[in-house]
């Protein structure tokens, strides 16, 4: 099993969720986060004075998938989250040792 952690634009969440559901992965964890990559923040204006907003709002989406589905899931996120402009985000992929469903105690991929 792999964990796909995607940092995406908040307005792309709906499209990414649609893709994941169609692949049979309806279970995700979503967190509102702030941060920046290489591009850094943006400049705003307050009463004639510029100020920097360094941390930009993003959505962090986490889903655990089967090894053989990894490529499909990553491609789906790429399709749905990409606008082509700076600030589209990142995908990180982790090994998952195990999973346990709290209600039943099932483990492994059955718990997902």
Segment contacting another protein by CB under 8 A, of 4-12, 52-60, 64-72, 77-85? 52-60
- Between CA 20 and CA 2 the distance in angstroms is 15
Smallest gap from Cβ 23 to another protein, in A, equals 32
Nearer Cβ to another protein (54/106): 54
Tell me which residues in 79-108 interact with another protein (CB under 8 A). none
- What spatial distance separates the first Cα and last Cα of the chain, rounded to whole Å? 10
54 part of the interface to another protein, by CB under 8 A = yes
- Between CA 37 and CA 47 the distance in angstroms is 28
- Between CA 32 and CA 52 the distance in angstroms is 20
Smallest gap from Cβ 42 to another protein, in A, equals 13
Would you give the DSSP letter of residue 111?
G
46 part of the interface to another protein, by CB under 8 A = yes
31 part of the interface to another protein, by CB under 8 A = no
Structural tokens at position 27: 């279970």
Positions in the binding site for another protein (CB under 8 A): 34, 44-55
């Amino acid at each position: 099993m792999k964990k796909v952690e995607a940092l995406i634009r908040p307005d792309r969440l709906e499209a990414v969720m649609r893709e994941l559901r169609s692949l049979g992965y309806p279970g995700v964890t979503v967190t509102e986060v702030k941060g920046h990559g290489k591009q850094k923040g943006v400049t705003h204006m307050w009463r004639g004075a510029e100020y920097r907003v360094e941390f930009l709002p993003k959505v962090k989406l986490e889903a655990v998938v089967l090894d053989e589905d990894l490529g499909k899931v990553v491609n789906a996120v790429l399709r749905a989250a990409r606008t082509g402009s700076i600030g589209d985000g990142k995908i990180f992929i982790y090994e998952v040792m195990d999973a346990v469903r709290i209600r039943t105690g099932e483990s492994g991929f059955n718990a997902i």
